[in-house]
Each structure stands twice: as C-alpha cells, then as structure tokens.
Amino acid sequence: GLRPPAGDGERASRGASPAGAPNPGRLSEEQSKTVEAIEIDCYNSLAACLLQAELVNYERVKEYCLKVLKKEGENFKALYRSGVAFYHLGDYDKALYYLKEARTRQPTDTNVIRYIQLTEMKLSRCSQREKEAM
C-alpha cells in the first residue's frame, strides 16, 4: 500500500487513532479465520482440478492437500486426495495412512474404500516380492 513520506503524517495519524483501535496492518481473528477458510477451499479446489487433468501432477496434488491438512487436519477431501496422490506416487504406506484417516471421517465412501483395497493389494505384492528376494 501507499505510505505517506516519513515524518509528514505519521505522528499526526498515530496521535489521531482512538485508543485500542486495531493495528491496520493486522487482521482481526475473524478475518484470519476467513482467510484460512478461503485458503483451504482454494487448495482443495486446486487439488480437485489437478486430479481431473489428463496427465495428473500427483506431486502438486500432494503439496496442496498437505497445505490444507496443516491448517485443518480433519479435512476429508484433503485426506482422501493425499491418499490418492501418495498411491500414484508409489508411497503405499503413506497412501494407506491418509486413506484410512479419510475412512474414519466417511466410512461408507466407495472411492476411499476402493483406494484402500488397491493400496493394500500393492502393499501385499511388495511384501511378497521382498519375501521372494530373500
């Protein structure tokens, strides 16, 4: 934003503000919560859009979902999409973790159940290969 030249209006404006007026550079608690809610919606929407792409950038999906989960760890969509991203990135342990977390929020969601089954199949194949390699 524009600022008056130093010395000109700073003292006057400082003296003119009523006692206890909020700092103009800071957001109120309500504004901060609104900004956070908008950020969560935006990152969730970005992740959803990325998943619709022909060539999905699962790394970006993961990044956006983890940003949502940092602010709102219970967010079902972000948990589910994180699981999907980790699955497609080949990190089946993390995929299973996020998918199971999503299932605790919405136990009957068929997409979550399907991805959990796919992930468990991949994990059992991986452990099978490890046993054969020994």
Enumerate the H helices of 2-134 as residue ranges: 10-16, 29-52, 58-71, 76-88, 92-105, 110-133
Report the half-sphere exposure of 116 (CA within 13 A, side-chain side).
17
The full set of domain ranges for the chain reads: 29-133
Q: What is the pTM of this model?
A: 0.72
**pLDDT on residue 128:** 80
Number of neighbouring beta carbons within 10 Å of residue 69: 19
- One CATH from 3.30.70.660, 2.60.40.10, 1.10.3720.10, 1.25.40.10 for 29-133: 1.25.40.10
- In the numeric block, the tokens 């699962």 are attached to 58
- 43-92 pLDDT, tens digit each: 989 998 888 888 899 999 999 999 999 999 999 999 999 999 999 999 99
Q: What is the mean pLDDT of the chain?
A: 85
